[in-house]
Amino acid sequence: MDIRGSKKIISWMVTLVLVPGVLLIYLPGMSGDQGIGPNRNVLSPAYLAPMIHLGDGGVKSIFQETGTTTDAGNGISWNFFQEISDSLRQSRISTLPNRRSYVQDLVTVLQEGNRVQVAFLSIQNFKGEFNDRGAQLDELAKRYPLDKVSVAGHEFGDWGIQAMADLLPQFLVKELAKQGSWGTGVSVYNDAKSYWVVFQNAPDDFKPADLFRGIFAATSEFKQAVVDRVKRLASEKIDNTPEIKNDETKKNALKQALNEFSVRNFNIYGGISESFSLAQTDLGLDAVSAAHRLDSQALLSAKHAQLYISGEYLNARVNQYLREERGGKFRLELNGEKARELQQEIGRDISAAVKAPRTGFREYSRNLGRYIAFIKQFCPRGEWDSIYRPITVDYHEGVNDKQLLQAYQDAAASGDPAALTLAQENIFKQIIGYSLEPDIQARAKGMIFFGNDRFKDTINYLIEHQPAYDWSGTFRIGGDEIGKVVWNARTRMVWVFRFDINNLGKINGQLGVRLGDKIIDEMIRLLDEIQEPQHYMAYIYNYFRNTNESGNNLRDNPITMAKEDYDYVASRLTEQGENVSDYLQERGGTYQIIQFPPVTVRSVNEETGEVAREYRSGAAISAGVVAIDANIINEQKAQGLDVARDYSGMANGRADGAAEKVKADMKDFQLHNNGAVSAEILTALNSTMWAAPYQGKTITSLPATTLSGIRNMLAEFIVTKAKQQAGINGETIFNFNPETFRSKRESTNLLEQAI
C-alpha cells in the first residue's frame, strides 16, 4: 500500500505549538501572526507548502485544490508543486519529512536562536521483528518449494514504519498536553526505521524521557495502534493475493501466524540530547557544529539505551569491573585472562541486547561518554558507528530546500520560462543526485543518481523514448545494492545491471560504517566509469588489492579517513598480525587507506552455532545483467498492442537475482579456498538474457505503467540533461551484441565478452 500520494497526509516538516486552548501549527521561519489560530485561517501565498491543521476533522489542507490551475503562478498547480516538494523533502517510505530536511531544519532553528533538544528513536530489532517476519509469511504462503508468493515480505516493515510516522505526531501532541508543556515546538522526521524529534523552546521543567516513556509504554495505546494497523494491512494483502485468495486453508494458516505479532514485538530505543541554544553558550560553536553536537548526543545516548535495554547483566558486569579499578577510574586497556573473560561475557550481553524485545530511553549526560568509551571495547565497530553521515558532512551551505522551492515559486509567478526551467532543474538535481564522499566526488567524472524509483523509471523512459544517442547512468539503490542502466542506440537494447557489495555487513561491523561508506562510494565511482562490463567484478576486486595496472589501484587513489577510524583499523590489523603500513598511511596529518583491510567471514553451523569455517575476504562485488530488446517492443507497438508496460520491474528483479547467484557462487568458492576468488567467477556476468517479451500476451501480462507528472519529468531530466553535463551523451558507451548472450535456460554463467 502506497500512502504517499494521499492529499490528507502530513507531507512537510510540521511544527506543533501548544497554547492553552488553541492548537497552532506552523512552518519554521513563520512569524507569529502567520500561524493558525482563532483569527488566522489562511496561509500567506509566500509560503511554500500547504498549512496542515490537526483538528477534529483529521488532517486537512488549508489550500483548497481546484484542479490543475490552482493559484501557484503561471498555471503551476499546487498539486504538482506539492509533488515536487514531497520528492525533495519527504521520506521515501513514510509521509514525514526526511533526514535531509531534519539536517537543514535543525541548523536553521539553531541559527534563529531557538533553544533546541533532539531525540533519536529507532525500532528495536527491526529486521527480526518486521522484515524477517514478512519473509516468513511469504515462505508460509508457498504452495510448493519453488513457488514465489508475496503476501508481506519487506512491505511488513514498511507498514510498521508508515504507521509509526502517521501516529507519532498525534501522540506527541497528547503527551505534551498532559505535561502542560505549552509553547513547545515539536518537529518529526523519518528515514527507514529511524526517527528524529526536534523540540524547540520547551519549558525548563520539560522531561522528554517521560514523554516517550508514556507514548511507548509496554501496553500503550500508541503501540497497540501501530500493531493493529500493520496486522490489518497484512490481512488485507493475504485476502487479495491472487495465488492464495481462494485457498481458505492457506489463508487461515497465514492469519494464525500473523496473530502472533503483538505489542511485545514492537519496541523502540531512543536517546535524547542536552538542551542547547547558541545564544546561551560560550562554546564558540556555529549552527552546523551545534547541530552535529546535538545529533551525535542523541545517537550516542540511543545506542547506550539499546545496549542496556536487557538491563541488569550488562550493568552488573560493567560496574563490577569499574569497582575493581583503582580509585574508580575508567581504564581503557584490558589485559589478562580475567579481562578476556569479561570481554566475552559483555560481548554476549551486547548480542542479546540488540535483539531484546524491550523498550528503553537515555538522556545524554557528561558521564555517559566515559561509560560508552568502556563498552566500545567489547562492541563491533558497526554497533557504534551511525549509518548516517555526520551533519558536518551532510550539510551543504547554500543548498537549502526551502530556498530552492521559494525560487521555483517566484519563477512560476514571474512568468519567465527560462527562470522557471532553471529553478526546476536546480530542484531536480537535488532530488535525483547522490552525493559521494567529498574526496571521492572530486575524482568522479559524472553525476551519480539515487533511489530505486529513479532507477526503474529511467529504464522505462529509455524504452519508451529510445534516444538517438548512447546513454549510461549509475544509481545508488540503497544498502548493498547499486544499479546501472545502459542504452545502446544502434542495437536499440537496454542493459540493466545490478551489483551487490559482498560482505557489507562485515565491512561495516569490522571496519566501521564511516569507512564502509567510503568504500561503497569508491565502488560506485568506478562502476560509473568502467567501460567494459565483463571487467566490472575483476576490476573492482583487483583495484582494492592494488593488482591492476599502475594508476588504477587504491594505492594510486587513496581514500582519506578520520584519525579515529585510522587508529581503530590499525589496532585491528595489529591484533591480526598484519603490517599496518601495507593498508594504511599517514602523511602530514592526513590519514588514508591504501589497500582494503580484509574482513573475517565465518560459516556457522546452524544446528550447533559453532564456527565451521572462516576466511578473510577482500572487497568484492557481484554483478547480474539482463537485456531488454526495444526492437521487439517496437514491432508489437506497430501491431497496435499497448506496450506502455513496466519492463523495469521484471528486468530489475531478474538482474538482482542473477547478482545474488554470483554472490552465492563467490562465497561458496571463497569458503573452500581460504578466501580466494576464481578468475572464472570474476570474469562472468550471470545473465538471464531477458530480451523483452516475445509475444503479445507476455507484454499484456506485465503491469501497465504511465510515467506521468513529476516521475516522468525526473526520468527525462536524468536521460536528457543530467548526464550531458558530464559529457557522456553522444559517446558510444557500449557496443553489445545480443547474440553473445545466452538465455538463462541454456546457461547461468555468462563467459562471453561484449564486443
Look up residue 362 and give its three cell numbers: 537515555
Distance of CA 450 to the CA centre of its chain: 10
Residue 584's pLDDT is what?
95
The three-state DSSP-derived secondary structure of 555-602 is HHCCEEECHHHHHHHHHHHHHCCCCHHHCEEEECCEEEECCCCCEEEE
Are 507 and 599 in contact by the 8 Å Cβ rule? The answer is yes
Distance of CA 360 to the CA centre of its chain: 24
Q: Nearest Cα to 461, choosing from 196, 273, 453? A: 453
CA distance 260 to 47: 47
* Coil, helix or strand at residue 334: coil
Q: Which residues pair with 53 in a beta bridge?
A: 60
| Average pLDDT per consecutive 10 residues, the chain (755 residues; last block may be shorter) | 29 41 36 28 26 26 34 59 85 91 93 94 93 89 72 88 94 86 86 94 89 88 95 92 85 92 94 90 85 93 82 60 51 55 71 84 82 67 73 81 86 86 90 89 89 92 90 90 91 90 86 86 92 85 91 92 88 86 93 91 66 82 87 83 78 83 87 85 64 48 71 90 51 43 33 27
Cα atoms found within 13 Å of the Cα of residue 504, Cβ hemisphere only: 20
In sequence order, the 6+-apart residues with CB closer than 8 A to the CB of 435 are 396, 441
Q: Which residues pair with 485 in a beta bridge?
A: 473, 496
Look up residue 151 and give its three cell numbers: 503476501
User: 748-753 long-range contacts, Cβ below 8 Å, gap at least 24?
Assistant: 748/658, 748/661, 748/686, 749/680, 749/684, 749/686, 750/625, 750/684, 750/685, 750/686, 750/687, 751/680, 751/683, 751/684, 753/532, 753/534
* Coil, helix or strand at residue 649: helix
Residue 76's pLDDT is what?
62
Residue 668's pLDDT is what?
87
CA distance 62 to 42: 7
Are 78 and 67 in contact by the 8 Å Cβ rule? The answer is no
Q: How would DSSP label each residue in 46-74? A: TSSS--EEEETTEEEESSPP-TT--SSST
Are 685 and 750 in contact by the 8 Å Cβ rule? The answer is yes
In sequence order, the 6+-apart residues with CB closer than 8 A to the CB of 98 are 89, 90, 91, 92, 189, 190, 191
Q: Are strands 686-687 and 621-629 parallel, antiparallel or unpaired?
A: parallel
CA distance 5 to 48: 18
For helices 132-141 and 248-258, angle between their N-to-C axes, nearest 10 degrees: 160
Query: What distances in angstroms separate CA 268 from CA 259, 309, 626, one per listed residue?
Result: 21, 10, 41
CA distance 56 to 451: 37
Q: Nearest Cα to 102, choosing from 209, 197, 211? A: 197
Distance of CA 688 to the CA centre of its chain: 28
Q: Nearest Cα to 592, choosing from 539, 517, 504, 518? A: 518
Query: What distances in angstroms separate CA 312 from CA 317, 321, 362, one per listed residue?
Result: 9, 14, 15
Cβ burial 157-166 (10 Å sphere, 16+ → b, else e): bbbbbbbbbb
In sequence order, the 6+-apart residues with CB closer than 8 A to the CB of 71 are 45, 78
CA distance 378 to 42: 56
For Cα atoms 82, 163, 123, give the angle at the middle one, nearest 5 degrees: 115
CA distance 202 to 244: 52
